[in-house]
Structure 1
Amino acid sequence: MPVSIDIIPFSDSLELYGEPDFSSAFSLAGHVSISLSPPSFMFQRWRSTTRVLMQSLTVTFEGQSEIITPDIGYAPLRLCSITRELVNEPVDLSNEGREDFNKPCSWNVIFDIPIPGWLPTTSTYGDRSAGEAGTRYALYATATFTYLEDGSSSIFSSFCSSFSCRTHTINAPRCPVTLARLAEVPSAPSSSSTSVFPMALFFVDAQSGQDDTETGTTAIPPEILKKIQVVASIPNAVALDETSVPLILRLQGNELDGSQQERLRITDFTVDVEQIETYRSTTSLDCIARCMVPPRAQQPPSFPLRNPHPVHTLYEVGLLMTPYPSKSTSTRSFSLFDPSNSGKYLISGDGRVFVHDSPRGDATTRSPSENWYVLEANVPLAPEPHQLDWAGLRSRRISENTPLFNVCHMMHIALRCVYEQPDGEAVSERLHFSLPMQHVRVAVPLINPSATDRTIVGAVDLQKSAPYSQSLPAYSQLFYSNGERKIDYSTPLPLYEPPPSASSSSSFTPDHSDNDRKSIS
């Protein structure tokens, strides 16, 4: 085949900044390389001129999501399919004058595809025994051309060309593209010493529950527990490379009378961070409309995926069946703690946190803002996965909501309350509440190159091995969502200084050599 095409993107990965946004888009650019080489025949001693007519050239960015679970089986979904026509009219391609060159003639056709900002990240999930499934993206290119002529006059080549099809359609090799979502780290320092993100405040509605260590049925009166006010603070986001999460609890019992404050104690509290993964075999019509995925007519099995998982054939022919046809969801949840971490924190002292003595020892009443009892802890997370199940390693993922796969994180907290009744009996209960968490991936900070990593060429300082895409800031860092440019007014403008000499003319002189230059488009 004298013509071949190949997709060469500027980068095989695309970083999406910020939260998923249906109104935003990111650029994926590159070029499609078209190579033309003369055909070679057995009895031909010289190379001939080859001419083809490129009739069409398209490039398509397509994303797909597939899940495989032991209980709900296999489910595919086409996330997006974006096609761009790169050739609007026939183009004549020829290697005339370069027949004897060892390398084929090549042309590059650039493309720029807008990638929707809501797309989920590239990830692998599902039944590990069935192979890799999950969310994947790739570029595809198709070209249609007509074989015009061959400069060879050999009888054998003419005989072969008479039986060959004049119009051909060729496809480029599949070009995988990785999508990664990165959170923007605030420029201002965080109020927490262990997190780069600011703290979020939660006013908790704690629910009481019987303590497992107590076998009796006597419980703390509900009217006493309802008077306990709890305010919790955790970072509004946690990076995947962070190994601890700061937690601040503020307790107040101003509505408790003096006797209740003396009898009520907080002895300890327990913390756990849970990751919940939800797999779905069906997608609702509301989700299809909200996520703007292709309609049902463009979904499997009506329109198969370009690169489906091999197991899809077994389900289509009936060799594999869904064990539970009526079941549409499957869940995997586990703790992100190391097995050696119990998550229990003891409170120092006698636990009477609601008794507030005056610092001067007199009977003056303290303000309500001074009656908060503050508990602080750095909750450690397991740096590496330590367990394995049907879906693979129990590793941390970013929090995301996709049409077929969801990942959410919760921090579960339980306060152990002990209350001494008037007859001297002590009963205990736990106040339970959960805080939603957001686990994100952040960009790796750029490191200033040392002097040995630079090459001085005249007055230009060039950095070695530095991809230009890493030095460009994200669009959201330079512009607002409405397109207006972000201006940092905290940096003052430089003071005006008059020119050194009023009689001096302009420091720029015209370069007459530019008159002989031609613009290249």
Structure 2
Amino acid sequence: MLIDLARSAFSLAGHVSISLSSLSFMFQRRRSTTRALMQSLTVTFEGQSEIITPDIGYAPLRLCSITRELVNGQPVELSNEGHEDSNKPCSWNVIFDIPVPGWLPTTSTYGDHCAVEAGTCYALYATATFIYLEDGSSSIFSSFCSPFGYRTHTINAPRCPITLARFVGVPSSPSSSSISVFPMALFIVDAQSGQDDSETGTTGIPPEILKKIQVVASIPNAVTLDETTVPLILRLQGNELDGSEQERLRITDFTVDVEQIETYRSTTSLDCVARFMVPPRTQQPPSLPLRNAHSVQTLYEVGLLMNSYSSKSTSTRSFSLFDPSNSGKYIISGDGRVFMHNSPEGDATIRPPSENWYVLEANVPLAPEPHQLDWAGPRSRRISENSPLFSVCHMMHIALRCVYEQPDGGVVSERLHFSLPMQHVRVSIPRINPSAGDRTIVGATELPKCAPYSQSLPAYSQLFHSNGERKIDYSTPLPLYEPPPSASSSSSFTLDHSDDDQK
């Protein structure tokens, strides 16, 4: 099932905790009641991207900013009446849910490795606006007199970092390859010819002969970051070659390389703005600074740091995912005349075109750990993704060495080269049910010691209606009411109000 990330959304739910405690004075025997009138409580989910490179410098971008007002209608009065002498403050938890756009890039660090905090990050910000009320005052009266008799206070909660990770589900049907969890994808290749480095002459294989070679390649449609081997299948066919050309043309070897290409951009094009739906320029720096900007931003604003290339807006880092000891070269056994179709007895036979494919199979190894370091840090494998300021793509480059014996006795060689797009992904870890030996009994509650799992967030539309109301399954009946076991143990307090002493 394909999901349009640009039009999908997921739910980020939680709660904002509000605490209220009494102030104690030296000459007071009893603490006074604290009352507050909360006029506004907002929670904001905000994402940002920042890149820092030696050639294009510093570039910020606000990815999204979604704010929800949790106090709807009249102000809410908070009071710790009856709990003034408690050592712990009274607390209220206000729940919220925010639809998170599905296109947002994952949390990651990239760019100049000296600026370790640059990259893509997300966080929640909560702000409460309230006024303190005198003991015994009415909340209705205070709501009218607050502009004249009371001072408005604003409190910002500490920044709450949010990590956004994207996982791909493992296909339920088994793959045809024994070393890949994803099915194989077919590519009909349009190979391009190129002069072989080992040949110094200007003559090469006639183009009309190379055009008669058909190549079909197969690689998995996705590769996980944990996999260190990628299966590759090449199918070659030359049905349009005549008997003489089939005998003179040989395929001696082929080379493979897997390349990771990272692109850094200092500006976003109009196409990127329309595709990713980022906030408009009026909500972007410097018009509206980022809430948690990198410290190097100030140095660029005051002119202490300058871009090395003011006209350059793109920087690229590309490298091979092979170990340095891996040449990526595979030798074809035999004499290399793969287009000659002879029977086991040596007599030439005419076979159906579907059987005239010569198949080459290889397991391409990838380096398990980064082995080089440059200006952007270790050359580590990343998932394939595309974001406004930073993109990562992967390509598998393949080159077939063709040798042709000319009628005059000369031998020329060329390489047919082509590239296949790859998708590197991160897969979710299936939930593991702990056995009985891995559980600990605490009173009447059974808690697992460890249960590693990665649960995908459900779509926002599955949990909430378009107007923000929670979806309720009314087909499940509510439990019958049962009175408490004893009247002496009953106590009255608000559902959203909790106090440890009462518990």
- TM bracket (short chain): 0.7 to 0.9
**How far off is 1:322 after superposition?**
1.1
Q: Does 1:196 align with 2:188?
A: no
Tell me the secondary structure at the aligned position of residue 297 of structure 1. helix
1:453 partner amino acid: D
Determine the C-alpha separation between the residues in 1 that align with 2:161 and 2:480: 49
Of residues 121, 125, 135, the one that matches 1:140 is 125
* Number of aligned residue pairs: 461
Q: Does 1:234 align with 2:219?
A: yes
- Number of the residue aligned with 2:142: none
The structure whose RCO (Cα within 8 Å, separation 6+) is larger is 2
- Number of the residue aligned with 1:39: 23
Q: Does 1:464 align with 2:439?
A: no
Of residues 55, 68, 72, the one that matches 1:84 is 68
Which consecutive unaligned segments of at least 5 residues does structure 2 have?
Answer: 137-148, 467-477, 497-503
Is contact 1:182-1:440 (8 Å) kept? Answer: yes
**How far off is 1:514 after superposition?**
4.0
- Number of the residue aligned with 1:418: 403
Closer, same or farther in 2 for the Cα pair 1:348/1:361, shift >3 Å?
A: closer
Determine the C-alpha separation between the residues in 2 that align with 1:281 and 1:455: 53
Q: Does 1:324 align with 2:339?
A: no
- Number of the residue aligned with 2:267: 282
Tell me the secondary structure at the aligned position of residue 192 of structure 1. coil
Closer, same or farther in 2 for the Cα pair 1:512/1:302, shift >3 Å?
A: closer
- Number of the residue aligned with 1:21: 5
- Number of the residue aligned with 2:374: 389
- Number of the residue aligned with 2:49: 65
Determine the C-alpha separation between the residues in 2 that align with 1:276 and 1:511: 57
Tell me the secondary structure at the aligned position of residue 265 of structure 1. strand
1:124 partner amino acid: T
**How far off is 1:150 after superposition?**
5.2
- Number of the residue aligned with 2:290: 305
- Number of the residue aligned with 1:74: 58
Q: Does 1:115 align with 2:72?
A: no
- Number of the residue aligned with 1:504: none
2:63 partner amino acid: L
**How far off is 1:323 after superposition?**
1.3
Is contact 1:264-1:418 (8 Å) kept? Answer: yes
Q: TM-score, normalised by structure 2?
A: 0.86
**How far off is 1:130 after superposition?**
2.8
Tell me the secondary structure at the aligned position of residue 179 of structure 1. coil
**How far off is 1:454 after superposition?**
3.8
Determine the C-alpha separation between the residues in 1 that align with 2:320 and 2:211: 29
Of residues 20, 32, 40, the one that matches 1:56 is 40
- Number of the residue aligned with 1:430: 415
Determine the C-alpha separation between the residues in 2 that align with 1:313 and 1:132: 15
2:93 partner amino acid: N
Q: Does 1:213 align with 2:206?
A: no
1:56 partner amino acid: S
Determine the C-alpha separation between the residues in 2 that align with 1:389 and 1:443: 30
- Number of the residue aligned with 2:470: none
Determine the C-alpha separation between the residues in 1 that align with 2:304 and 2:454: 51
Closer, same or farther in 2 for the Cα pair 1:24/1:467, shift >3 Å?
A: farther
Determine the C-alpha separation between the residues in 2 that align with 1:297 and 1:512: 55
- Number of the residue aligned with 2:91: 106
**How far off is 1:20 after superposition?**
5.9
Closer, same or farther in 2 for the Cα pair 1:18/1:62, shift >3 Å?
A: farther
- Number of the residue aligned with 2:474: none
- Number of the residue aligned with 2:114: 129
Closer, same or farther in 2 for the Cα pair 1:329/1:473, shift >3 Å?
A: closer
Counting aligned pairs with the same residue, the percent is 80
1:272 partner amino acid: D
Which consecutive unaligned segments of at least 5 residues does structure 1 have?
Answer: 1-16, 152-163, 484-509
Determine the C-alpha separation between the residues in 2 that align with 1:514 and 1:18: 48
Is contact 2:41-2:129 (8 Å) kept? Answer: yes
**How far off is 1:461 after superposition?**
9.6
Closer, same or farther in 2 for the Cα pair 1:43/1:338, shift >3 Å?
A: farther
**How far off is 1:456 after superposition?**
7.7
TM alignment of 1:333-482, pairs within 5 A: 333-359=318-344, 361-454=346-439, 462=446, 464-465=448-449, 470=453, 475=458
- Number of the residue aligned with 1:258: 243
- Number of the residue aligned with 2:141: none
Tell me the secondary structure at the aligned position of residue 182 of structure 1. coil
- Number of the residue aligned with 2:81: 96
Is contact 1:18-1:184 (8 Å) kept? Answer: no
Determine the C-alpha separation between the residues in 1 that align with 2:172 and 2:110: 34
1:301 partner amino acid: P
**How far off is 1:453 after superposition?**
2.4
Determine the C-alpha separation between the residues in 1 that align with 2:62 and 2:479: 56
Tell me the secondary structure at the aligned position of residue 316 of structure 2. strand
Closer, same or farther in 2 for the Cα pair 1:256/1:60, shift >3 Å?
A: same
- Number of the residue aligned with 1:181: 166
**How far off is 1:136 after superposition?**
0.3
Q: Does 1:296 align with 2:258?
A: no
Q: TM-score, normalised by structure 1?
A: 0.83
- Number of the residue aligned with 2:473: none
Q: List per-residue Cα deviations over 1:400-450 (Å, max 9, x = no partner).
A: 010000100000000001111112211111101000000000011222311
**How far off is 1:216 after superposition?**
1.7
Determine the C-alpha separation between the residues in 2 that align with 1:300 and 1:473: 33
Closer, same or farther in 2 for the Cα pair 1:191/1:269, shift >3 Å?
A: same
Q: List per-residue Cα deviations over 1:117-160 (Å, max 9, x = no partner).
A: 11000000001123320000000000000011258xxxxxxxxx
Task: Report the more deviating stretch, 358-367 or 214-223.
Answer: 358-367
Determine the C-alpha separation between the residues in 2 that align with 1:439 and 1:471: 18
Task: Report the more deviating stretch, 417-426 or 329-338.
Answer: 417-426
1:367 partner amino acid: P
Determine the C-alpha separation between the residues in 2 that align with 1:216 and 1:453: 71
**How far off is 1:286 after superposition?**
2.3
Determine the C-alpha separation between the residues in 2 that align with 1:381 and 1:472: 28
Determine the C-alpha separation between the residues in 1 that align with 2:449 and 2:16: 24
